[in-house]
Structure 1
Amino acid sequence: MARKRAKIFETKYFGFIIGLFVFLVIFLLDISTSIFTNLNTKATDLQFFLKGLTTATSVQEGVTVTEKNPKISDDIIIVGIDSRSLAKFGKWPFPRSIHASLIDSFTRIKDQGSRESSIFLDVFFIESDRKAAEDARLIASIEQAQTVFIETLLDVGISDYSSHEIMLKRQAVLFERFPGFKNVSGSWQEMRDFMSVQAPLIPYSKVVAGYGHANYVQDVDQIYRRQALITKLSTEIEQIPFKNLQIGFTVDQSQYERLVWYDTKGFVHNIITPITKETLARLEKELATSSPPVIIDTDGDGNPDEQYYLVRKIKDYFVPAITLSLACRYFGVDPSELTVEIGKHIIIHNPTVRDAKTGQRIPYSIPVGKDQFDKDGNLVKAAPRKVLSEIKIPINENGEMVINYMGYRSSTALDGYRTFPVRSYASYAERAPGPNPETWPKTKAVDNKILMVGPFADGIAQDEKPTPYGLMYGIEIHANALNTILMNNFLIPAPKWVEYIILLTFILIICFYTSRYSTLWGFVSVLIGLIILFLGISIIFERNNVVIDFPKPAIAMLLSFVAVVSYRAMTEERDKKMIRATFGKYVSPKVVDQILENPPELGGVDKELTVLFSDIRGFTTLSENMTPQELVNHLNVYLTAMTDLILEYGGTLDKYVGDEIMCFWGAPLPQEDHAILACKCALRQMEKLQELNEQWPEHKRINIGIGLNSGIMTVGNMGSPGRMNYTLMGDNVNLGARLEGTNKQYGTGIIISEFTYGLVKDHFIVRELDNIRVKGKNKPVLIYELIDSIDSLDPPALETGKGKKGRG
């Protein structure tokens, strides 16, 4: 008997173990590599494209009405230095007096209560103009405006030490005027280090209303998706030879000081303070193996006279992004009042906004729906608003916020697509009023707006950067980042535990279907799972700004499908070969295919079956009239015909014993009408034998006897592991064999037992023969001669309905 595989290794159970293994692999890759993080950024880009931003409806030829996205602030306006501005003022960069005129056009209005919130100049003022009067003119306008913000740039390394000190002095002026963050917690020591800065000229720093850095972060695919709202400018305040370090040495972390060492590749390594004995020993080994030494050759002979290693005392300063500075100005909050926890969030407490009617500051609120307008464009009902007691900005370990881009780049064309309002720089700068207040306009319709001034045409610097929506001017990236803060519209990554539940759920679903159904249905389940997952993630992204990882479960589903299918191929194909080898010589190919779909138990099992024995009468006389070769050929014709009928009627061929045939019905596949099929086959064999005999000469004609019995029999593989047969055993099998021989005594062709008769009496014509006691049986058995069928003798291939035969 074949050794059965343990139940757990059956595909329908082991598939779940495969799924758990796939989950573990994906989990380990997720926590130890950035593979899925990088893939997910691409998937998130696709979500941006699918977001419903605005809808435009044509109302007449050449006229469209665009429905505004309620998640875009009304108070952000881009003042673009566009092609019209270049045509008006000539080659870039413009004289600084032109920038002064732009500022004056907003400053010089009669109604000072309807001034802008701020003017951000996305232009660097690092070098003096060749004409001192130009700088003086612009500085005077900035000082008069009291709303102008300018920007700095931070660099990771120090490229020029001669200018480095100058830039630090300039930055110091900004730090003195705008102390910035005072409540920074979390792992600020591990933030990315910026070692140098490009800061504006000191006269500008002394008159601006605020500043911020303009740095953006490129992902590995060079796409700009994040802005560091808080960055760390690290300055070296002391170099300390390692030999001078003592146990207990420390720094003032409350002043954001730390101790570091540089390796040979220039990477910074923090040193935990206060210094302990263990720290000192470990640091000595690290410096000796990975840090460049300081070598002193006092006599100039080329041989070092002294060698030691340095550690450095660093003081960190925190610089806000320009967008965060503009937001704080808009909300009436000083950056020093913010709560910053690196790796978690920045909290803006109690944001307010200036009320246009009263000029007073009121609690800040955002719309939570859409305004309703009539067909003429008049406001019917304003959207409800939600008051924000705080704005919590999610940031990562480097203080970076993911920008929630609101749409494609805006066009300067009047009829072009615009995510944000874009106005031409020239339209303001060319119409700046003079110093006489009597000539000033009443207002410029920019009450409480944040005016973002920057390049908005090709050829002005290199200010186009790749974003999820394609190339975009830097000023519009700033606008998107600022809008993300103002509208409290942050992209929130789903908690890891939620992503892992989704991951495991989809893996197990795919494993369930693939291990229990056909490969085709398994593949269909993968496709359906991917569609459901993607649509669900897209809807959640659009409605709730929650970013759920798509590549991770998508790859896991495909891996699970491939793994389970591969396991099935390795195990079930082996099982199929064994089944084909076992049953291929007993049953028809169609029955084998059914067995493969639902494999039977291969061990011995008890079932109700019908067994048929047939034997040739007068076989000795027949063999004497033919040579052995002729006898073999003659028997093969007979056995082939009989066997074909057995298979045609769904029977299972057990064995040939010389001229005897043994077969049965009801196994390996269950057959409710096993007795009927066996009786029909017996009658059809008699008909077929008559047809054969009519073709043969008298001395080759064959006469047979058939015995049938039904009852509980043991069926299964019998023999040794190396050689076995699928056969029957039991008293009811022996009774069938005895009935075949009984035909000689009664001169009949087919004898059935009372047990078979009880199952077929309504379908066949029989003649009661006798009540006999066969050898090995103590109890008499009533036997019948099977004469004819009431029903049609059509084989199962012609069945109709649920296994029932059509009436003949």
Structure 2
Amino acid sequence: MLRRSVTLAGVLFLLIVSLGWVYLATPQKFLSLDSRLRDFLFVMRGSIPVTGQVVIVDIDEKSLQKYGQWPWSRNIIASLITQLKHDGVGIIGLDIVFAEADKSVAHYRMEEQECCPDPYDKALALAIREAPVIGGYFFSFDFNSTKSASIPAIFIEKGLSDEHYIPEPMGTKLNIDCLQEAFYSSGFFNTTPDPGGMIRQIPLLMRYQDILYPSLALEMIRIYTGTDKVIVQNSEIGVDSVWLNELVIPTDRYARLSINFRGPSRHFHYFSASDVIEKKVNPSELEGKFVLVGTSAVGLADLKPTPFDSVMPGVEIHANMIDTVLANDLIATPHNAELIDLAMIILIVIFSTLIFYLFNAWLIIPALILFLYGLYQLFFVLLFEKGMIINILLPLISLFATMILILLVRYIFTSRQKQQLQRAFAQKVSPAVMQDILTNETHNLLKPKEKNVTIFFSDIRSFTTISEVIGKPEDLIRLLNEYLTPMVDIVVRHNGTIDKFIGDAMMAYWNAPTDVANHADQAVQSAIEQLLALKEINRKIKEHQKDRYLSVKKAINEKTEDHKAHYDMMINIGIGINTGVVTIGEMGSFGRSDYTIIGDNVNLASRLEGLCKTYGVLLIISETTKKALRGNYSIRELDWVRVKGKSKPVTIFEILIEDISQEELEEYDEALNLYRKGKFTDAIGQFEILANFSDTNSYKLYRMYQKRCEYLIREKNNNFDGVFNFTTK
């Protein structure tokens, strides 16, 4: 068991190290799979209410049909912004860039050197100056540019590390100068898809020409909070958070905010731009709101994939970001995410090991389902209630890798255990019992324990004399095999377990390793069948020995008539059976052990077998065995004895194999009672009568009692209590 535990611990250690290495070296495509698992949590959570402070003015298909294809004439945009100001909006963010002058009027002149040579651009610039408009632009990572936007705020970086993780673009695509200067402020509206092409995060900051610039959404929130100094808090691994006064926005190391999407596309309140211009929108629905102006028109190609939708207007992604911050419903990867993820991997490996190793095979699938559900609930709570983004993929890989590994280890251990069981029991029990042991996979079968069993001992009488007569060792072994083979078959047929052979003696037991119903009866029936089979065994042995002996003598031309003793022999046995509690299990030295039983009841069974010779009987059972019997047998009480090594007396009984008349049994009981009452002279006379007139094999029993009574008379034992003490085995 210790070796198994050490092996399992070593395997788990290697698994944890391997999983940790995989986690720290995870390629981007696997991180994308982790993000998709997190998307599943968003889908299962479903839509959540928005704050109602963010609305979208949509340049939709309806507006395009009304005012023509994009880009519109700037006077239309000017009308839109003017109307929004008139409706009392809180702040306007343009998810649009006006990178070129308006070309929609004929009197546009290229040679004009004014800031806004076109009157419509002038009209739009005027409308922008009179309204709280935050302009939009985008950074480019493909071309160089020297222009930059001006931001009416100071960005202060604290805790700078040696490495810069904030994205550094190569150029900008700004609005034309007259419009860019007219904006109260501006922000970039770049979105950064992950390697899988999905929008899950949005950059809050970018570093251009060593200056930090905010995103459109961040700039709108900064103005909303009245923040003049934006604190960018760094850690040793990159950006940690962005501070807008008391508002703390956690980010990843690249200053990206993970968006807690409120729902699928069009979850926010959309207003058609044409309806706003035509004053069809109730001002109360816009008053004091964050208004994002963008487009959902398919032809304008501003549709992005998100966890909820394959296509979501880019403007609604910014709306989700703003609403997430306003609701303080932020989600972010903790700065110590690696430690948390590694700790979770270790814990999952440990707990899943306990479950999959200790549970029964049929419980593994339900346990796996419950474990997966528990992880789902854990990830759900951490993400949406605690706002923590942790790795989902590696814990799941850890779970399944541990399950597969533990099942493999269990299979190997089980195979080895089956081999061990086969080695322990293949020659001890019947094939049916062996199959039952292997099928039930009793893991504690070989562990030491106490159990009530019936123990059987048998021994050949006068085996030394037989050995001397036979002479040759190979002939002696052949004789033993001819005797033991049918004896073993009988024991196995009666569901017994062969424990060992001790020379010519055989030890067996019932009710272990598997339970045997009526095991005392099975043992007694096996003993009776062996004694009955012994006659046929003796006949076969005699014929075999005779034929072999005569053939040898004939080959050397010797007379054979005078050597009848060499083959005219009989095997006689004695059997002792006892029932009681023993200690059972795998015993022995390391690498060399055996499944066996030990205890006082084993010793008593051995003593009972030895007493067969003393009493001249074939089969002796103990009182506990007699009480355990359920069948009908011819039984007579033999004696009260105290065997060597036992302080308490036991009552022993004989199972009668041959028929004895009822009259003889009654006379025997009478003689036995006289003996126990200490009337030894009367008992001698009664046993004498039995010995002279008995035509059974009980003659030796009667003569034994005669001699014992004579001995007790000589010893004048006045304290005789009916119990005879044996001082030898």
> Is the TM-score greater than 0.5?
yes
Question: Aligned ranges for residues 346-425 of structure 1 at < 5 Å?
Answer: 346-349=242-245, 390-410=246-266, 419-425=267-273
Larger RCO (CA under 8 A, 6+ residues apart): 1
Which residue identity does 1:399 align to in structure 2? Answer: A
2:459 aligned with 1:466: no
User: Structure 2: how far apart are the matches of 1:606 and 1:323?
Assistant: 76
Corresponding residue for residue 427 of structure 1: 275
Deviates more, 1:336-345 or 1:16-25: 16-25
Structure 2 residue aligned with 1:613: 457
Which residue, out of 113, 124, 138, partners 1:153?
138
Distance in 1 (CA, whole Å) between partners of 2:497 and 2:427 is 9
Q: How big is the shift at 1:233? A: 0.3
> 1:639 is paired with a residue of what secondary structure?
helix
Gaps of 5+ in 2: 109-116, 544-569, 658-729
Deviations 1:640-672 (A, max 9, x none): 65123442xxx3212467986431246556x7x
CA positional deviation for 1:601: 5.0
Could you tell me which residue of structure 1 aligns to residue 528 of structure 2? 686
SS in 2 for 1:577: helix
Q: CA deviation at 1:542?
A: 3.7
Q: 2:171 corresponds to which residue? A: 196
Counterpart contact for 2:74–2:124, Cα < 8 Å: no
Alpha-carbon deviation of 1:577? 0.5
Deviation at 1:184, TM superposition (A): 2.1
- Give the whole-Å Cα distance in 2 for the aligned partners of 1:692 and 1:473: 97
Q: CA deviation at 1:321?
A: 0.4
CA shift at 1:116, angstroms?
1.2
Structure 1 residues 121, 692: closer, same or farther in 2, change over 3 A?
A: same
CA RMSD of aligned residues (A): 4.4
What amino acid sits opposite 1:323 in the alignment?
A
Distance (whole Å) between structure 2 residues aligned to residue 121 and residue 712 of structure 1: 90
Change beyond 3 A, Cα 1:591–1:666: same
**Residues 1:96 and 2:74 aligned together:** yes
TM-score of the two chains, using structure 1 as the length reference: 0.64
What is the rounded CA distance, in whole Å, between the counterparts of 2:386 and 2:208 in structure 1? Answer: 35
Deviation at 1:472, TM superposition (A): 1.0
Query: In structure 2, how many angstroms separate the alpha carbons of the residues matched to 1:323 and 1:570?
Result: 59
From 526, 535, 549, the counterpart of 2:368: 526
Q: Is residue 769 of structure 1 aligned with residue 609 of structure 2?
A: no
Structure (1 or 2) with the larger CA radius of gyration: 2
Alpha-carbon spacing, 1:663–1:464, altered in 2? closer, same or farther (3 Å): same
Question: Which residue does the alignment assign to 1:327?
Answer: 221
2:53 to 75, 95, 119: 75
Contact 1:187–1:397 under 8 Å retained in 2: no
The CA distance in 1 between the partners of 2:283 and 2:509, in whole Å, is 103
Q: CA deviation at 1:725?
A: 5.7
> Once the two structures are superposed, what CA deviation does each residue of 1:159-182 show, in whole Å capped at 9, x if it has no partner?
35xxx24xx2xx2xx32xx34333
Kindly indicate whether the alpha-carbon contact (under 8 Å) linking 2:520 and 2:628 is maintained by their aligned counterparts in 1.
Answer: no
Larger strand proportion of the pair: 1
Query: TM-score, structure 2 length as denominator?
Result: 0.70
Q: CA deviation at 1:547?
A: 3.2
Q: Which one has the bigger helix percentage?
A: 2
Report deviation, 1:407: 1.0
> Separation in 1 of the partners of 2:282 and 2:332?
43
Measured in 2, the distance between the counterparts of 1:779 and 1:547 equals 74
Query: Residue 233 of structure 2 corresponds to which residue in structure 1?
Result: 341
Distance 1:181 1:40, change over 3 A: farther
Deviation sequence 1:178-221 (CA, Å, 0-9, x none) = 34333222337502222211111111122112100111112111
* 1:555-704 mapped onto 2 (5 Å cutoff): 555-587=397-429, 588-589=433-434, 592-593=437-438, 596-601=441-446, 610-614=454-458, 638-639=486-487, 641-647=489-495, 651-655=496-500, 661-665=506-510, 668=513, 677-678=519-520, 680-683=522-525, 685-686=527-528
* Cα distance in structure 2, aligned partners of 1:773 and 1:451: 106
- What residue is the counterpart of 2:359 in the other structure? 517
Name the aligned partner's letter for residue 16 of structure 2: F
The whole-number CA distance in structure 2 between the counterparts of 1:580 and 1:392 is 68
Within 5 A, what are the aligned runs for 1:493-512? 493=333, 496=337, 498-512=340-354
TM-superposed CA distance for 1:778, in Å, is 11
Partner of 1:61: none
Q: In 2, distance between residues paired with 1:774 and 1:399? A: 90
| CA 1:422–1:755: 2 relative to 1, 3 Å | closer
In the alignment, the residues of structure 2 paired with residue 49 and residue 339 of structure 1 have an alpha-carbon distance, to the nearest angstrom, of 34
How far 1:49 sits from its partner (Å)? 0.8
For residues 778 and 137 of structure 1, the distance between their equivalents in structure 2, rounded to whole angstroms, comes to 122
- Structure 2 vs 1, CA of residues 22 and 116 (structure 1 numbering), >3 Å: closer, same or farther? same
Tell whether the 8 Å contact from 2:259 to 2:320 is kept in structure 1 after alignment. yes
**Residues 99, 785 of structure 1: alpha-carbon distance in 2 compared, 3 angstrom cutoff:** same
Given the superposition, is the C-alpha separation of residues 226 and 706 from structure 1 closer, same or farther in structure 2, using an over 3 Å criterion? same
After TM superposition, give the deviation of residue 685 of structure 1 in Å: 4.3
Q: How far does residue 459 in structure 1 lie from its aligned partner after superposition?
A: 0.7
Cα gap change, 1:783 to 1:226, in 2 (>3 Å): same
* Residue matched to 1:492: 332
Q: Which moved more, 1:696-705 or 1:487-496?
A: 696-705
Residues 710-749 of structure 1 correspond to what in structure 2 (within 5 A)? 726=595, 736-737=605-606, 739-740=608-609, 742-743=611-612, 746=615, 748-749=617-618
Gaps in structure 1 of 5+ consecutive residues? 1-6, 55-68, 235-315, 350-389, 411-418, 433-440, 789-808
Identify if the C-alpha distance between structure 1 residues 192 and 695 changes in structure 2 by more than 3 Å, giving closer, same or farther. same
The one-letter code sitting in structure 2 at the alignment partner of 1:467 is: T
Question: Any conservation in 1 of the 2:125–2:178 contact (CA below 8 Å)?
Answer: no
**What number of residue pairs does the alignment pair up?**
598
In the alignment, which of 15, 27, 51 is matched to residue 20 of structure 2?
27
Contact 1:519 1:565 in 2 (8 A): no
Counterpart for residue 565 of structure 2 = none
| 2:126 is aligned with 1:124 | no
Shift in Å, 1:740: 3.5
> What secondary structure is seen at the aligned counterpart in 1 of 2:182?
coil
Quick check: 1:513–1:521 contact (8 Å CA) kept in 2? no
- Tell me, yes or no, if the aligned pair for 1:510 and 1:522 is still in contact at 8 Å: no
State whether residues 91 and 132 of structure 2, in contact with CA within 8 Å, keep that contact through their aligned partners in structure 1: yes
Q: Deviations over 1:214-261 (max 9, x none)?
A: 111121111111111111002xxxxxxxxxxxxxxxxxxxxxxxxxxx
User: Are the equivalent residues in 2 in contact too, given 1:510–1:560 (CA < 8 A)?
Assistant: yes
**Deviations 1:359-396 (CA, angstroms, capped at 9, x unpaired):** xxxxxxxxxxxxxxxxxxxxxxxxxxxxxxx3211112
Asked if the contact 2:259/2:324 (under 8 Å) is kept, the reply is: yes
- How many angstroms apart in 1 are the aligned matches of 2:488 and 2:171? 95
Name 1:456's counterpart in structure 2: 296
Q: Would the alpha carbon gap of residues 775 and 429 (structure 1) be closer, same or farther in structure 2, given more than 3 Å must change? A: closer
Correspondence for 1:47: 41
1:289-311 deviations in whole A, cap 9, x for unaligned? Answer: xxxxxxxxxxxxxxxxxxxxxxx
